[in-house]
Each structure stands twice: as C-alpha cells, then as structure tokens.
C-alpha cells in the first residue's frame, strides 16, 4: 500500500480496536516506514503469529495432514489392487484394508473411492481439495494430540526465548530497474546459526560503516563483514606470533589492519567442488561453532580463484612496514611439522609472494600487496590480475553478500551441470509418480497427469522443457534425462535459458545487522532489460 493509503487505513482504525490502533504496528512503522517507492508492506502481527502457533491451528493442521496421508494411501492402494487384478473390488475401502492395500483410516473415517481411485472423506474432503481449518470444528483434542502439541510448544518456546513480536517485510521498487526487500524481525530466533554469527558480528551500537571494495574484473561473489572488536583481537592474538615468527612480520602491522574483511570469488571452473555447486552456496555452510564460520572461506581459497581484502587504517604506513618483511627462505617446517614457507618481494614492485610447501608435494602461493585501503591477498598471484579501484559504503550493516550472475563465464558449464542434476532428479521422480497410471493402459500421459492431480493433489511437470514418453517395454522415458536405470542429462548450451534461479537478474546484494535482539536484513537486486 502507498504511504497515503496506509495513513488512511490507520486513521480508519482509530475508532475501533483494529490493527491500526495497536502499539506494535505503530512501532513497526517507525522501524520499517512506508516510502514513496513502497509497493507492498507485509505485517505479521503478534495476534496473527499467536494464532498460527496456537493449539487450534496446529492440531487442526495435524489432523488435515494425517487425513490427507490416509486419503493418498487409499488411492495408492486402489491403484495397486487394480494392477493386481482385483477389478471392482479395488474401489472398496473395506476390501483394501482387509487385504493390506491400505491402513484402516483413523482420521478420514468413512472415506469412499470411485472407479479411478479418487478418495474422499465426508469430513475432510479430497486430497487435492481438503477443507479449510475454518470448516473443521476443533472442540476437543485426543491425549496423543495434546502430547504432540505440548512437545511442539516446548520446542518452539526454546527458540522464542521471552515473547512474541511482529515481523515486517517491505518491498520497494526503485528506479533503474532496482528492487529492495527489507525484513525486520524481533526477537531473533535463537539457534546455532544466528548465535554463531552474533558472536562475531557487531550489533547496532557499532557506527563504523562497512566499506566494500570495488574490484576489477568484477567478481561473481563478494562476502563482506565487520568483526566485533573482541573477535578481531582474539584472531590477531592467535595469528600474531605465527606471523612474526614465520614471516618476519613487524607486530605493529597487526594494529593497522581490520576489522573489516572481504572475500571475493572470481570467475573460474574449479576441478574440485565442495558443497552443492550452486552460486548461492559458494561460501559453504555455517556451523554452530565460531570456528566453522571460517571453513567456507578456507574452502574457497583452496578451490577457486579469489582474493581476500582486509581493511587498513593507514595504507601508507602498512606499505612501509611491508617493505621491512623478511624475504629469505624460512627454515624448517611449521610448528605442526607439515610444511615450510618463504616470502620474497617482486623485483621493482611493492608486491610480495608468500610460498608454502607441504612435504614437497603441495605448493601454495599467495600474492600480498596494498590497494586502495585494503591489504589484498591473492591465491593466484601470477595469473589473477585483480585490482581494487575504490570502495563503496554499505551504511548501517555488519555483513553483506553480493552476487553478480552476469560475471559468470568460465563457471557457467559447472553451474549448469549442478542445476541439470537437480532437474534430472525431479524428472525421474515425476516419472515414478506417473508410471503406475501409465502402466494401467487406460490413460495417455496427459490424462494420467490430470488424474494424478485428482488423486494426490499435484500433477508432475517435466522440467527443463522436455517430455516423457513410453518405450516399447512400457517404461517412462524422459527426453532429456533418460530412465531411472540409465539416466543422462543435456550438455551445456550457452543459449539455454531454461535453468537458473537468477535468470534476468543483474546483481543481488544481501546485507544484515543485528539490532534490538533481532535481525534487520535487506535484499537488493537489479533486473535485466
């Protein structure tokens, strides 16, 4: 709604007890105000959330889910009985239950079946058209339902520590094909992921802006964060002795770096892929322990062309200190006894190469230099010509993730292969759903898909623009992905735009900040022409 319409709505509620009069709604409008760019504001109020998690809704949902499972089991049992040659008896629920084709209904009592296996309950309706919770009266709960809701309530209250608060989501459409989605939630759900991040990222009291480097060539992804002062000092304390002993590093340098750190991934097709191979998951998975927050960065450094950029308070002074660093070969192995390193300066340049050799088998080289206000560490110092041309400020945020799908070129085949593998799995799952109906011989594939929707509430759709067909042996075959016992998938085609979550998106940026025991996050993206 627009700002004018929202104001009118609030004024209209003044005379009653509606949402516009609630203190929580008025407070949320101060935190997520409506602007002239706002297209929509979604507000989940405290009473609404309480209603969603209350016993009437949750027990009603449980009954609907169990009733639907019984309806689907009856339809599946009817299909199997017909396939076994039981004819008209396949539409008799009593016969199916007695012969073990379906369990005796507990929730969908009195269900009936038609000749094609469509199941219907007098109380709940059919699987594709279940009656709503408003249509289902809930006056009493069974002991099992009461215990189930008690378990749910106990688990839920462990996450929401003290109270319920509202959630607001605002969508703004700005000029130049740019869009913004902001979410504000209080209090933040208390789980290992958020607690791990909360311990390393500063909260709303921190006023230092997050300054993100502008990098050429444009990386496909940049993860930026400011670290809490305590976290940064702890990291420096752990690394300080190692840097001084192994690199001949002046300890004064440690006082001039951080606390903002940025990991930029350049386009490249890695031989080893850790994770699921998707652009959105290139930084790995965060774990519950603080040290796990660094695993994704280490994985990227070892498997992809990338640069690490550490903020500097005095870049000129850092250059002077770097010039004093030792470049002689460092003797012996490190304290773990697995390798040795050396550091040398590139002749005629303010650039250094750090070389680390593990058991004379694995050699790692990292370039070190100062660009703009950053100490830049490059894992491909001789071939990855990355330069920092400046920086931009992401105000009021502790962390940001920027994705640039348009920068992907070398990695597109690998990304396509990952997406095609998932589509292949969907195609084979859809074929498994249609196979029992196709094997009956009474329906073509289109009619079988329509009947599947009537029986189970959804119709399988072939992904990727392909189609299913029956081979001479009566098996369903995907035109793109083959069969379950001999599958295949298409090769990469740069003109194929049938896959990919970020089709038509120029760049995406997710930024976040912890505040008031909660989380404020903003997603900005630009669409194509």
Residue by residue, DSSP assigns 195-227 as HHHHTTS--TT----EEEEEEESPPSEEEEEEP
**Environment class of 468 (CB within 10 Å of its CB; exposed 0-12, middle 13-18, buried 19+):** buried
| pLDDT at residue 292, as a whole number | 46
Distance CA 237, CA 165 (A): 40
Degrees (nearest 5) of the Cα angle 283, 284, 288?
120
| pLDDT at residue 243, as a whole number | 62
Distance CA 284, CA 201 (A): 18
Q: Are 215 and 191 in contact (CB under 8 A)?
A: no
Instruction: Point out which residues pair with 341 in neighbouring strands.
Output: 356
| pLDDT at residue 291, as a whole number | 46
Distance CA 257, CA 440 (A): 71
| pLDDT at residue 281, as a whole number | 55
| pLDDT at residue 246, as a whole number | 55
How many other CB atoms are there within 10 angstroms of residue 40's CB atom? 12
Q: Are 410 and 492 in contact (CB under 8 A)?
A: no
- List, run by run, the mean pLDDT of 10-residue segments along the chain (529 residues): 49 58 82 92 86 90 95 95 92 96 94 94 94 87 92 79 71 92 77 64 77 93 87 70 59 81 85 59 47 53 82 90 66 54 83 83 88 92 86 88 86 83 92 87 87 92 90 88 89 72 80 82 86
pTM value is: 0.77
127's tokens:
């699987």
DSSP assignment of 134-203 equals GGS------HHHHHHHHHHHHHHHHHS-S----EEEEEEE-STTEEEEEEEESSPP--HHHHHHHTTS--
Distance CA 97, CA 104 (A): 6
Degrees (nearest 5) of the Cα angle 293, 370, 307?
40
| pLDDT at residue 406, as a whole number | 81
Distance CA 186, CA 331 (A): 54
| pLDDT at residue 286, as a whole number | 41
| pLDDT at residue 161, as a whole number | 52
């Amino acid at each position: 709604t627009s700002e004018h319409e929202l104001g009118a709505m609030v004024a209209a509620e003044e005379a009653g007890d509606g949402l516009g009069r609630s203190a929580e709604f008025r407070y949320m409008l101060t935190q997520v105000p409506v602007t002239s760019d706002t297209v929509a504001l979604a507000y989940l109020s405290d009473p609404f959330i309480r209603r969603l998690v209350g016993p009437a809704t949750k027990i009603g949902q449980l009954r609907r889910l169990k009733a639907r499972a019984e309806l689907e089991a009856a339809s599946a049992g009817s299909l199997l009985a017909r396939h076994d040659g039981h004819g008209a008896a396949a539409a008799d629920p009593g016969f199916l239950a007695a012969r073990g084709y379906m369990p005796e209904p507990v929730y969908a009592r009195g269900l009936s079946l038609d000749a094609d296996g469509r199941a219907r309950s007098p109380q709940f309706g059919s699987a594709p058209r279940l009656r709503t919770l408003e249509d289902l009266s809930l006056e009493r709960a069974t002991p099992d339902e009461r215990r189930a809701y008690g378990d749910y309530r106990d688990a839920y209250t462990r996450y929401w520590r003290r109270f319920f608060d509202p959630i607001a989501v605002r969508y703004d459409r700005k000029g130049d094909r740019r869009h913004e989605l902001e979410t504000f939630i209080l209090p933040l759900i208390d789980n290992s992921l958020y607690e791990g991040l909360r311990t390393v990222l500063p909260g709303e009291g921190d006023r230092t802006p997050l300054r993100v480097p502008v990098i050429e060539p444009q990386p496909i992804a940049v993860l930026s964060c400011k670290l809490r002062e305590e976290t940064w000092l702890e990291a420096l304390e752990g690394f300080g002795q190692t840097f001084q002993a192994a690199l001949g590093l002046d300890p004064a340098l440690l006082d001039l770096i951080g606390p903002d750190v940025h990991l930029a991934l350049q386009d490249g097709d890695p031989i080893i892929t850790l994770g699921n191979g998707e652009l959105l998951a290139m930084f790995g998975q965060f774990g519950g322990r603080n040290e796990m927050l660094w695993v994704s960065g280490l994985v990227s450094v070892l498997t992809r062309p990338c640069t690490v950029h550490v903020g500097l308070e005095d870049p000129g002074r850092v250059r002077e200190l770097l010039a004093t660093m030792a470049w002689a070969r460092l003797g012996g192995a490190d304290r773990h006894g697995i390798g040795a390193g050396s550091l040398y300066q590139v002749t005629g340049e303010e650039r250094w190469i750090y070389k680390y050799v593990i058991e004379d088998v694995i050699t790692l080289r990292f370039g070190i230099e100062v660009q703009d206000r950053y100490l830049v560490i490059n894992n491909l110092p001789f071939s990855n010509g990355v330069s920092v041309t400046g920086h931009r400020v992401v105000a009021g945020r502790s962390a940001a993730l920027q994705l640039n799908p348009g920068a992907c070129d070398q990695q597109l085949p690998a990304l396509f292969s990952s997406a095609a593998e998932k589509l292949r799995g969907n195609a084979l799952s859809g074929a498994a759903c249609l196979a029992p109906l196709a094997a009956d011989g009474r329906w073509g594939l289109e009619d079988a898909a329509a009947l599947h929707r009537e029986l189970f509430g959804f119709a399988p759709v072939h992904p990727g623009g392909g189609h299913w067909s029956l081979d001479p042996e009566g098996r369903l075959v995907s035109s793109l992905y083959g069969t379950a016992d001999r599958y295949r998938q298409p090769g990469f085609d740069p003109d194929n735009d049938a896959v990919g979550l970020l089709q038509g998106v120029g760049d995406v940026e997710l930024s976040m900040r912890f505040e008031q025991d909660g989380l404020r996050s903003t997603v900005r993206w630009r669409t194509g022409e």
